[in-house]
Structure 1
C-alpha cells in the first residue's frame, strides 16, 4: 500500500471562463457510480480546458483520473480546481474506509509530517513543461502528511513552478484520501498561492466533499 500511496502523492502535482455550473458531478470507479452535488463555485471543464486535463491525466501512469472540475463564476481562477483520482492498483478492489486509513500508517498521525521525496516527480514535471511550452522550468514540491480523522487521511502542501525568464507560479494543494462504498478516492483541491491558511481551507473542503459522496454499483 505504501508504494501505491507514493505514486498517488506524486500525482497531485500533475495538472493543468467556464461552463454554467451543473448541479451534480458524475464519475465511476471500478463499476461503482458516484453522482454527488457539484461543489459550490466549480464547473465541468470547458472544451478549451479538456485537452490540458486529458494530457495531465496521461502523465499520471499510476492513477485513474475520474474527473477534473474548474473554478467558475465571478471568482474563477485558472489555478483553482479539483481532481479526483484512484490508484489503478486498487480501482476495482473493495476496501473499507477504516482499512484505507489504517494502511496510511504512523506518518499520517502528525498534522505536519515529514515531506515526501518527490525528486523524480519534480524532474518529470520540469520535462513535461519544457515539452509542452518550449521553455525550461524548475518545479519544487513540498507535500507531506497532514494528519487523519475518521473520514480522511490528509496530505498537502505547496508547488512552486519557475519558468526560465518568467514569473514563478505558486500553488497550494490539500487532499483527502478516503474510501466510499468500497472504492478508494483521493480528492485533490488546488488553489493559487502558498498561504498556510489556504492549505487548511482546502483540507476542510476536501473533507466536506468526501461526506457528500455515495456510490451505487452499476447494474
Structure 2
C-alpha cells in the first residue's frame, strides 16, 4: 500500500469493501500470470535467492512479499515487478522516470532496512518490453514513507477517511464509489486533476533507467531504446 493514495490505504486498514468488476478480475488474472512468467524467466537469468520473499518489519509495522530477491555481486537485491499499458509505458520511456506508485513500493522495502539494493522492473503488457531502475535507500523517501504510514495510523485510530487524492488512478480504483457520486463526477475530477499530488509532496524520482547487468530486454535493445 506504500504507493496508494492515502484515502485508499486508510480504507484498506479499516476493512472497507471493494467493487471488483469482471473486467477488473480479468486484468488481475492476466497480471498474476505475467507475474509468474517473469519469476520463471528470472530463475533462468539470475542467481535467485527467493521468490515471493516475506518481509515483516516490527519497527515500521508493515508486512508484505517481495516479488523476488536475487544475488548480485554477493549482495541480495529486492526486485519489484510491475506491468503497464502502452500509454503509461511510453510516458515512462519518454521521461525516463518510473511511476511514483511503483517506485514507492520498492522504496518501502528498502526503507525497512531489510535490503540495501533494489530494482524496479516495468513490463509493457502489449510488447513485453521492459524498463528497469536500480534503487538504493534514500533518506527523503524513507521520511516520506514514514509520514504517510503515520498518517494512515492516525486516521485509522480516529476511524475517519482523509481527503481525496485525485489522479488518473481513480479511473481504475475499486473503491471509487467512496469518493465520487457518479462516473461522470469522477471523470470530471480526474480531467481537472490528472496527476497524483500527495501530502507531503513526493520526493524526487530517478530521471533515467539504470538496469542491473543481469536483466535486460533484447527486444528493447534491438529497437534502440533503453535496456
Bin the TM-score by the shorter chain: under 0.3
Work out which of the two has the higher radius of gyration on C-alpha atoms and give 1 or 2: 2
Greater strand share, 1 or 2? 1
Q: TM-score, normalised by structure 2?
A: 0.25
- Relative to its length, the structure with more helix (as a share) is 2
Relative to the length of structure 1, the TM-score reads 0.25
